[in-house]
């Protein structure tokens, strides 16, 4: 796996590699300790090379203020990291959308809300202060796989895009 670096003012402030990825799986670190090397003391993912048991990041996004970073995983895990330029990311919140969460979006009006959608046909609005889903919107049964979602600036309209089903994909509005 190729490594990547986050650089600020010509200084590497965080490095990603096979040894120190941003964590997604629940096994392999759980909030501290997490193993040796770079990233020690941060929640970590054990990288698994077996084809059927690997967890991968499906999406990553920043909030509007740039102090929260969110990643979603192929296993449905959603993790929020607080960001600080002097120490990089630290896990602040964890939720699970279900079997997968291919899309996540921070709310444009409220920093404490996050939207996710997934293969279960649901869009969820999460309160980051409690890690709880405060609202759930369900797609029609024919279009159960949702690939993307977003909410407008004043939170009056929610949209989600579906996977292709019998030569038909839809945008659903609530």
Give residue-wise pLDDT tens across range 152-173. 988 899 999 998 888 888 899 9
> What would the mean pLDDT of 77-98 be, rounded to a whole number?
84
Query: Domain containing 106: what range?
Result: 4-18+56-173
More confident residue, 22 or 151: 151
Domain-embedded: residue 11: yes
What DSSP state is assigned to residue 72?
E
pLDDT at 142 over 80: no
For position 98, what pLDDT does the model report? 80
Domain-embedded: residue 90: yes
- Distance of alpha carbon 115 from alpha carbon 121, whole angstroms: 13
More confident residue, 128 or 5: 128
Q: Count CB-CB contacts under 10 A for residue 48.
A: 13
Domain-embedded: residue 45: no
More confident residue, 47 or 60: 60
Total domains, the chain = 1
pLDDT at 110 over 60: yes
Provide the pLDDT confidence category of residue 105 given band limits of 50, 70 and 90: very high
pLDDT > 90: what percent of the chain?
A: 28
Question: Please, what is the average pLDDT of the chain?
Answer: 74
For position 59, what pLDDT does the model report? 87
Domain-embedded: residue 29: no
More confident residue, 32 or 10: 10
DSSP letters of 103-155? EEEE-SS-TTEEEEE-TTSEEEEEETTTTEEEEEEE--GGG--EEEEEE-TTS
Domain-embedded: residue 136: yes
Domain-embedded: residue 128: yes
Looking only at the bridges linking them, the beta strands covering 77-84 and 11-16 are unpaired
> What is the total residue count of the chain?
174
Domain-embedded: residue 33: no
pLDDT at 32 over 90: no
Would the pTM count as exceeding 0.95? no
Domain-embedded: residue 34: no
At 87, which CATH number?
A: 2.130.10.10
């Amino acid at each position: 796996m190729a490594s990547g670096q986050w650089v600020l003012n010509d200084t590497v402030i965080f490095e990603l590699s096979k040894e120190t990825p941003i964590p997604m799986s629940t096994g392999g670190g759980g909030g501290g300790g997490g193993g040796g090397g770079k990233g020690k003391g941060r929640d970590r993912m054990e990288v698994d090379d077996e084809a059927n048991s690997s967890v991968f990041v499906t999406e990553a996004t920043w909030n509007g203020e740039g102090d929260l970073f969110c990643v979603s995983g192929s296993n449905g895990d959603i993790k929020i990291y607080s960001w600080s330029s002097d120490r990089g990311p630290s896990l602040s919140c964890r939720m699970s959308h279900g079997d997968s969460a291919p899309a996540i979006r921070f709310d444009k009006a409220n920093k404490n809300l996050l939207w996710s959608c997934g293969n279960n046909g649901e869009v969820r609005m999460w309160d980051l202060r409690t890690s709880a889903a405060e609202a759930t919107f369900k797609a029609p049964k024919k279009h159960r796989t949702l690939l993307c979602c977003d909410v407008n600036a004043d939170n009056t309209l929610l949209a989600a895009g579906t996977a292709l089903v019998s030569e038909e994909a839809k945008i659903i509005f609530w």
